[in-house]
Structure 1
């Protein structure tokens, strides 16, 4: 007997949340990709690429997949998830994205690298999706229609090629935000296309499954996403971008220019500053700049009173 499948048991809540997570992860991944291009060493570039892989593969793709699965249900059976295959699907998402980003992130990016990296990453993302679906445990047999499966893989490959191209081309906040919105549509489109291929044939007997419920997995996933997002944001704020460094260099140059002393007459950069105005003394006109200079005392004339210009009166 075929089981009735429901993709939106909680209404629009799960698709909206899954899309928001895919956009958030894409924004973080593209920002990390920009920092990777600006990195001045191989080690720093590798760290930024690793951050982009976690953001895109872990948050934008895998976490989006799991949140969307919260709204998935089959009438007549409960659904549990096997932890080993669920963890494998997470690793597949991060590693496949990391390899694709590394292909275009090191050395000169070209069309062949983007195409090859997108093909590998897209197949890896599709493998993540169907590995996670294989980890589902229910009282039935899961089958897939081949046409939607092939279409979902093609969507994953095209989306991965576009994502890798954006990772080496996009710069600036508005461009990153717009690209993330498009990437979110592609990621969700791949997921729900793959889900339409699914068919469930229910068993007549109920089997006791050893997996965990989606609610049990939800808490560690939410905690992991929060920690990962905070860590990436902190790393971005701690490491200045090229624009930040250029602004700091400009401010420093302006500060140094304001603090430097002006050129003096010995530098030949201009005339000496004007001195005080010319004055008039007992010797007549004094040259400019000497008006306030101390004058040497004049020796008194012999037998005089010490006042120049007057002779003492002789006694008669």
Structure 2
């Protein structure tokens, strides 16, 4: 029997809150990835790991904040804890693989495509594994075309985010990139939810099936606390992550890690307009006018 679904039981509250969670995780992850491109190889893994955990936690939190407003008429929802937390681990691991690829190979060409694809697939896998943890007296089916569209949105969003991490340096640009990323991730979520069809094993009895906020709130405490802690580390005390002062940024090609650029650029002879290099003659005491 077809079930009646309501994805916005709390109105605009859950979509807006979910979007903000995606933006927060994206902003922290982009900031960490950007800083990783400006430090030495020894310090880079710490920033990349924190960035992966921030993005993965932000996306996972966004998903389940949005799910607080999801109800099925007459069918109370239950969330399987192992499956739910497994979706969080999957998101962090796959996002981490994509971020480490870009962090060490640069946000260009094949590395960007590979990292963005893996990260996007991680986001989509997190969504559908999280939905597999939703239990009720029935089951879900999905429209294949809409699911494919949601996966494509996730891959494009992840690729754009990693591209921004390799190139965006200013604060306002970072904020703009995180807002776009949050919009894309939210779009992926609700596109995936649009592919959903609910089939009940029996006719619903009464209204029942209220929002699952009371079940999800305890699960969200840990990831939310981590996001707040990551935000404090990035904003207030970044030295806690790297274990020492960050190296002074150097000018380098966009998307290429700064650690791969010589810390002291080669000295080149100065150029005069319209002429060749200026040759600087060394002073020889033996050639002074008095000794000629």
Q: TM-score, normalised by structure 1?
A: 0.71
Unpaired runs of 5+ in structure 2?
205-211, 240-244, 251-292
CA contact (8 A) 2:8 2:14 kept: yes
Q: Distance in 2 between matches of 1:146 and 1:31?
A: 35
Unpaired runs of 5+ in structure 1?
207-212, 246-316
Q: Distance in 1 between matches of 2:138 and 2:51?
A: 38
Question: What does 1:25-40 correspond to in 2, within 5 Å?
Answer: 25-40=25-40
Q: Deviation per CA, 1:201-256, whole angstroms, max 9, x where unpaired?
A: 111289xxxxxx642331342343124322442255322666799xxxxxxxxxxx
Q: Name which structure has the greater RCO, CA cutoff 8 Å, separation 6+.
A: 2
CA contact (8 A) 2:57 2:223 kept: no
Change (3 A) 1:107 1:144: closer
Change (3 A) 1:187 1:176: same
Determine the structure 2 residue equivalent to 1:52.
51
How many residues of Structure 1 are paired with residues of Structure 2 in the alignment?
A: 237
CA contact (8 A) 1:80 1:214 kept: no
Q: Deviation per CA, 1:103-148, whole angstroms, max 9, x where unpaired?
A: 0101444211100111111112111111110111011121111111
Determine the structure 2 residue equivalent to 1:171.
169
Change (3 A) 1:195 1:8: same
Match of 1:115 among 113, 116, 122: 113
Q: Deviation per CA, 1:56-94, whole angstroms, max 9, x where unpaired?
A: 1111x1100000000001111000111111011101111
- CA RMSD in angstroms comes to 2.0
Q: TM-score, normalised by structure 2?
A: 0.76
In structure 2, the residue corresponding to 1:143 is in which secondary structure? strand
